[in-house]
């Protein structure tokens, strides 16, 4: 019975945690990477030709803090603006702090990349999309910000995620109950 409960917990972990994480970060096909900011060159915009077939579009902005920045400093905040043929379609504020980010590859003191994702664009119209960022606060002294676009990134079904968490909790509960019975 304990092995069954452990297997139930592992299945719930795979469905409720691992699969949604992998879907969010690796789902879809990467279109490309564009530099939006470099300390030496300043701010740049990226113009990308997109089609309706590219939807849903997942947007990531990878920021690289200056090496040696301590974690006690204020976060860096960037405003991401997206327009299609000059018409604004998305504006989002992205915050980069030493201990936040939905994907943090390493400690910012080492100069490694911190990734933030913007809202997915569910529908697209054919045209030239312009992506740009501007700093609101630069507490981490960013040295670079890159735009990463992924096409066909299907959203995670929250019902399946919740079902996985419930199965995981049931497996853990069952395991704890079987351990308790053996000791008594």
State residue 68 phi and psi, 5-degree precision: 90, 5
- pLDDT over 90, % of the chain: 57
Cα–Cα nearest to 16, from 164, 159, 158: 164
Question: In this predicted model, what pLDDT tens digit does every residue of 118-145 receive, in sequence order?
Answer: 988 999 999 999 999 998 887 768 889 9
pLDDT at 169 over 90: yes
Q: Which of 39-43, 78-82, 83-87, 136-140 has the weakest average pLDDT? A: 136-140
DSSP-assigned beta bridge partners for residue 88: 83
Which pLDDT does position 27 carry in this prediction? 85
pLDDT at 107 over 60: no
Contact 159, 16 (CB under 8 A): no
What is the residue whose two structure tokens read 């960037």? 78
Give how far the C-alpha of residue 111 lies from the chain's centroid of Cα atoms, to the nearest Å.
19
Distance between CA atoms of residues 171 and 4, nearest Å: 8
Contact 146, 108 (CB under 8 A): no
The pTM is what? Answer: 0.76
Angle at 123 between CA 154 and CA 52, to 5 degrees: 95
């Amino acid at each position: 019975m304990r092995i069954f409960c452990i297997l139930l917990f592992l299945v719930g972990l795979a469905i409720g945690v691992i699969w949604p994480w992998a879907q969010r970060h690796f789902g879809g096909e990467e279109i490309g990477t564009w530099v939006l900011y470099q300390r030496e060159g300043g701010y740049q915009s990226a113009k990308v030709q997109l089609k309706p077939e590219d939807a849903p579009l997942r947007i990531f902005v990878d920021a690289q803090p200056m090496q040696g920045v301590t974690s006690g400093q204020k976060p860096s905040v960037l405003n991401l603006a997206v327009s299609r043929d000059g018409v604004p379609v998305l504006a989002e504020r992205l915050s980069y702090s030493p201990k936040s980010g939905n994907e943090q590859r390493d400690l910012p003191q080492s100069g490694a990349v911190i990734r933030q994702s913007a809202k997915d664009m569910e529908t697209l119209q054919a045209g030239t999309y312009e992506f740009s960022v501007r700093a609101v606060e630069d507490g981490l002294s960013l040295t670079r910000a890159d735009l990463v676009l992924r096409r066909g990134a299907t959203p995670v079904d929250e019902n399946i995620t919740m079902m996985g968490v419930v199965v995981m909790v049931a497996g853990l509960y069952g395991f704890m109950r079987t351990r308790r019975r053996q000791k008594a």
